[in-house]
Amino acid sequence: MTNECGNSRIAGCQLTLFPMSDDFVDVILSALDETDTSKVWKDTDDVSTCIRGKMVHVFDVAHAIYLHAAKTGKHVAMSGTFSIGCPGDTAGHVYMDETDEPMNKKQSEGIDQEAGCKFALYPMGTEEYMEKITEQIDLSNERGVTVTPTHYATRLDGQVNDIFRAMEEAFDKVQQVVSHVTMTFTISANSPSNR
Amino acid sequence: MTNECGNSRIAGCQLTLFPMSDDFVDVILSALDETDTSKVWKDTDDVSTCIRGKMVHVFDVAHAIYLHAAKTGKHVAMSGTFSIGCPGDTAGHVYMDETDEPMNKKQSEGIDQEAGCKFALYPMGTEEYMEKITEQIDLSNERGVTVTPTHYATRLDGQVNDIFRAMEEAFDKVQQVVSHVTMTFTISANSPSNR
Summarize the annotated binding site of A for thiamine as residue ranges.
17, 49
Residues of A within 8 A of B15 (CB-CB) are none
Q: What pLDDT score was predicted for residue A90? A: 74
- Which residues are CB-contacts of A118 (< 8 A; sequence separation ≥ 6)? A150, A153, A154, A155, A156, A185, A186, B14, B47, B48
| DSSP character string of chain B | ----GGG---EEEEEEEEE-STTHHHHHHHHHHHS--TTSEEEE-SS-EEEEE-HHHHHHHHHHHHHHHHTTSS-EEEEEEEEES-SS--TTGGGGGS-S--SSHHHHHT---EEEEEEEEEE-S-TTHHHHHHHH--GGG-TTEEEEEETTEEEEEEEHHHHHHHHHHHHHHHHTT-SSEEEEEEEEES-TT--
Torsion of CA A169, A170, A176, A181, to 10 degrees: -130
Query: What's at A127, amino acid-wise?
Result: E
Query: What's at A35, amino acid-wise?
Result: T
pLDDT grade for B194, boundaries at 50, 70 and 90? low
- Rounded CA separation B57/B124 (Å): 23
Find, in chain B, the residue whose alpha carbon is nearest to that of A50.
Answer: B151
For chain A, the straight-line distance linking the first and the last C-alpha, in angstroms and rounded, comes to 49
For the cut 80, the answer to whether the pLDDT of residue A8 exceeds it is no
Residues of B within 8 A of A40 (CB-CB) are none
Q: Nearest CA of chain B to the CA of A191: how many Å?
A: 7
Complex ipTM, two decimals? 0.91
Query: What's at B21, amino acid-wise?
Result: S
Q: Nearest CA of chain B to the CA of A54: how many Å?
A: 16
Q: Nearest CA of chain A to the CA of B72: how many Å?
A: 14
Residues of A within 8 A of B21 (CB-CB) are 20-22, 24
Q: 3-class SS at A73?
A: coil
Task: Give me the mean pLDDT over the A115-141 stretch.
Answer: 86
* Count of alpha carbons within 13 angstroms of residue B37, beta-carbon side: 18
How does pLDDT run across B80-134, given as a tens digit for each residue? Answer: 999 999 876 677 888 999 999 999 999 999 999 999 999 999 999 888 888 888 8
| H or E stretch at A114 | strand A114-123
How many percent of chain B have pLDDT more than 70?
94
Q: Nearest CA of chain B to the CA of A187: how many Å?
A: 7
For the cut 50, the answer to whether the pLDDT of residue A129 exceeds it is yes
A188 and B89 within 8 Å at the Cβ level: the answer is: no
Q: What pLDDT score was predicted for residue A86? A: 81
- Specify the CATH number of the domain B9-87+111-190: 3.30.70.930
Task: Give me the mean pLDDT over the B172-190 stretch.
Answer: 95
Size of interface A-B (CB pairs under 8 A): 137
Contact (Cβ atoms closer than 8 angstroms) between residue B64 and residue B179: no
Q: What pLDDT score was predicted for residue B89? A: 66
Chain A interface, best mutation among B146, B151, B185, by max A CB count within 10 A: B151
pLDDT grade for A6, boundaries at 50, 70 and 90? very low
- Rounded CA separation B148/B157 (Å): 8
Count of other CB atoms within 10 angstroms of residue A149: 10
How does pLDDT run across A156-166, given as a tens digit for each residue? Answer: 999 999 999 99
How does pLDDT run across A34-57, given as a tens digit for each residue? Answer: 999 999 999 999 999 999 999 999
A21 and B19 within 8 Å at the Cβ level: the answer is: no
φ, ψ (nearest 5 deg) of residue A97: -85, -10
- Rounded CA separation B114/A92 (Å): 31
pLDDT grade for A5, boundaries at 50, 70 and 90? very low
Task: Give me the mean pLDDT over the A172-193 stretch.
Answer: 94
Q: What pLDDT score was predicted for residue A4? A: 35
* Domain boundary assignment for chain B: 9-87+111-190
Tell me the average pLDDT of chain B: 91
Query: What's at A123, amino acid-wise?
Result: P
For the cut 50, the answer to whether the pLDDT of residue B6 exceeds it is no
Query: What's at A115, amino acid-wise?
Result: A
How far is Cα of residue B77 from the mean position of the Cα atoms in its chain? 13
Q: What pLDDT score was predicted for residue B134? A: 80
